[in-house]
Chain A
């Protein structure tokens, strides 16, 4: 079997654990002013547009009459190709009126969604991939942190994460020990709550929404909900895209591209505690798309 046929054969998703969830399909700014945005979700070609300011319409190109659930949230158009049994997860901070809410711009990445999520959950790469920004040698240690699955929401949480960062945000003027909390509310979406240089009591929110185009291909939607009154949208986007641009070549050189869920398939370490839980959680949710199941 050739690689091309292997991809097309299983690229249309039949896994209800994924099919019945909401997925981002466009940045809101890509469908502004009546623009029609063509893209692919779970192997299905689709078109997105806005019928009204907050009313999205998504059409399957292979079956234009089929109803597709669609909505606008977090600066994105979201769609569900199956039955949207659960509402989209909440990010409460977007309701705070002093927040800057920015979609940093879509980036296509030739990797599976859960590989991208794991990279977002990873602190150990900061000194080597985001050198001088999110980390720097010799501050390489990942201290032990806590991981749990919330019994009410079934979100995966990593808490008490600490890492020394030379330039943690656009608002940074100096290095800081950053406190991180990570939350995985959805197999392909991940939210980070992070110390802000601006306010000791509150946290910046940075999320990565992965649009699964194929089992081994995504469009990444980086989403920011920040306390930053000073920087322009352009510079906030530039900062985030610089970070993501540093991750992209790593992600695209991961083999295999789908995430192996067998805990013996790769060699985890203590610093990967949240990834270990995330992989077990994907198995428990019955996710078989974009992963190599146990």
Chain B
């Protein structure tokens, strides 16, 4: 497998909101540009059922599969939403195979995995004003085309037609530089060859410097290249034409227990509201950050072993940074004080990968978003996600004073859907919530985040007004309580270890957190990869993989979703 950089598309063809199919060495690729200008090159295959993503749609932030509308995020290729299960955040293992991308000389370049980490070739001839000529597909292998290019000749555009040009060819990485001269008319064209696979390739010529008349140059070189391609295709096929039909990877690598932690650099810090500092966090080496789903939060690890959770305020497609808001709390053990007073632009922080306990359903047309104070942060990511897909919402933002409204620039972009409620006391807040919650219905839902007293009131009022339990999602931002309703212990018989599995933590994660490696794939109880043998104890089977007979036997546990009905399980690990 050749893992060098090759051009796979003309930058000009990667039009906003379009999706383009390309090939390299027999690998099918999907190429699309997000509204922020980032070009993505991924394996052309939805992870769910293998449907080509190139028949999907590009909404400017995410690529949406045509079959079941699974949404994949700009940059990371991580899945952000699975409409069949609106209340569940997609497993983080659902992630498209992405390839590195470079835009150079008007072309989109990529390389397949395993290559060294250099950049596409640098060619002096193209450093100033490269001018992309029309590409041509060729029914011949890249090797055959490169061999034929050694004797490629053309008349420079603008030269007298009756004169024989002097031509020099020089090999460059992935192509040939051809210089044609007639008297003082010199024209230099670099012809790159994209190996498509299966005895096919694409020639991509780029001229050194912009010509006086682009139209004349385009037409001239289209004719020249057309003749060249005709000649190459008339050559008898050689062994080199049998290059690469690549069987699509049938079993993608099983998800590793990748480290939960990563280091980020503070790229920007500013005061977004009274007592609220905003931070933008980026990868220090420019690597792509793990996918963000609406309602996500990260753990921030601070000096002295402090860990604080902060919600991400990012919009869909805004995938090159994590944005958080930190409120300074008076009784703080030092977490928010450190971030407010000490942490500075350029410093690094240890964070966890994003997690989601507050998934946004998108199967109702009308969402009531309610935020109290700093609780606005996850609500902002939700509002921006709803706005992106055109679902209706109203955002009601409660704060004590006008100076406490954070992230004005996001609120402004959200427009008239944002309603501010300033300086209401507890009773007035309750009255306003009661008014907002007066009309439950099957086409409406509530998502709320704020201080515990406000959320407690909201939940009581919603129940009184007749809202169904699953129509009201909420997240407490300041809860010190740990729900211990389903804590149980797992004994690992072979490792002679005992682990406590807390509410909200999977057996799989608890085992991994103890340093034991366990393979997994779908992490939603559907593939059977993370199954372990149960030696003792009763299992609450929450998977959809085991047959009724296998469940009844009670000797197998899918660690990603299943739990114990007894207080203790003994596993063969």
Question: Of B50, B55, B245, B544, which one neighbours A276 at CB under 8 angstroms?
Answer: B544
B391 within 8 A of partner (CB):
yes
Which B residues from 136 to 153 make CB contacts under 8 A with A?
Answer: none
- Kindly specify which of B83-91, B267-275, B337-345 makes contact with the partner chain: B83-91
Q: Which of B66, B84, B362, B524 contacts A250 (CB 8 A)?
A: B66
Stretch from A58-66, A139-147, A199-207 that touches the partner: A139-147
B168 at the interface (CB under 8 A from A): no
Residues of chain B contacted by A139 (CB below 8 angstroms) = 363
Separation of A117 and B328 alpha carbons in the complex (Å): 57
Cβ-defined partner of B252 (8 Å) among A1, A148, A249, A264: A264
Check if A269 sits within 8 Å of B84, measured CB to CB: yes
Partner of A255, one of B45, B252, B526, B545: B45
Asked if B547 CB lies within 8 Å of chain A CBs, one says yes
The answer on a CB contact under 8 Å between B48 and A266 is: yes
Q: Mark A212-237, 1 if CB is under 8 A from B, else 0.
A: 00000000000000000000000000
Asked if residues A138 and B48 are in contact (CB atoms below 8 Å), the reply is no
Given contacts A124-B83, A138-B362, A269-B85, contact A276 B250 (CB under 8 A): no
Interface contact A254-B49, CB-CB below 8 Å: yes
Which residues of chain B are within 8 angstroms of A137 by Cβ–Cβ distance?
83, 363
Q: Please tell me if A85 contacts chain B, counting CB pairs below 8 Å.
A: no
The answer, yes or no, to whether A273 is at the interface (CB within 8 Å) is yes
Report chain A residues within 8 Å CB of B82. 269
B110–chain A nearest beta-carbon distance, Å: 18
Q: Say whether, besides A129-B67, A138-B365, A142-B84, A268 and B526 are in contact (CB < 8 Å).
A: yes
Measured CA separation A140–B47 after assembly (Å): 19
Complex interface: chain A residues within 8 A of B529 (CB): 263-264
Q: Give A173 Cβ to nearest chain B Cβ, in Å.
A: 21
Q: Does B23 contact A (CB under 8 A)?
A: no
Q: Judge if A128 is at the interface, Cβ distance under 8 Å.
A: yes
> Across the interface, which residues of B come within 8 angstroms of A280, CB to CB?
547
Determine if A249 and B245 form an interchain contact, defined as CB atoms under 8 angstroms apart: no
Closest CB in chain A relative to B523 CB, distance in Å? 9
Could you give, for residues 221-263 of chain B, a 1 whenever the CB lies within 8 Å of some chain A CB and a 0 otherwise? Answer: 0000000000000000000001001011011101000000000
Contacts of A268 in B (CB 8 A): 48, 522, 524, 526-527
Name the residue of chain B whose CB is nearest to the CB of A258. B250
Does B547 lie within 8 Å of A265, measured CB to CB? no
> Which residues on the B side are within 8 Å of A144 (C-beta)?
544
User: B-side binding surface: helix, strand, loop or mixed?
Assistant: loop
Q: How many residues of A contact B (CB 8 A)?
A: 43
The answer to whether B68 and A256 touch across the interface, beta carbons within 8 angstroms, is no
Interface size of B in residues (CB-CB distance below 8 Å): 49
Q: Is the CB–CB distance between B526 and A270 below 8 Å?
A: yes
Interface residues of A (CB under 8 A from B): 1-3, 6, 118, 124-125, 127-129, 137-142, 144, 147-149, 249-250, 253-256, 260, 262-273, 276-277, 280, 292
14 more CB-based (< 8 A) A-B contacts, given A267-B93, A269-B526: A1-B245, A125-B67, A138-B364, A141-B83, A149-B547, A250-B67, A253-B52, A262-B250, A262-B251, A269-B85, A269-B522, A270-B524, A270-B526, A276-B545
Q: Are B84 and A2 closer than 8 Å at their CB atoms?
A: no
- Can you list, as one digit per residue, whether each of B526-551 has a CB less than 8 Å from chain A (1) or not (0)? 11110000000000000011011000
Chain B CB within 10 Å — which of A147, A266, A269 has the most? A269
Q: Across the interface, name the chain A residue whose C-beta is closest to B523.
A: A267
Could you say which residues of chain A place their CB within 8 Å of the CB of B364?
138
Q: Are B247 and A260 in contact (CB under 8 A)?
A: no
Chain A residue contacts of B69, Cβ below 8 A: 127-128, 140
The CA of A40 and the CA of B321, in the complex, are separated in Å by 56
CB-CB < 8 A to B28: which residues of A?
Answer: 255
Given A268-B527, A269-B526, also A292-B250 (CB < 8 A): yes
Nearest-CB distance from B236 to chain A (Å)? 16
Asked if B349 is an interface residue, CB under 8 A from chain A, the answer is no
A115 to B439, CA, bound (A): 45
User: Which of A1, A138, A256 neighbours the largest number of chain B CB atoms within 10 Å of its CB?
Assistant: A138
B218–chain A nearest beta-carbon distance, Å: 33
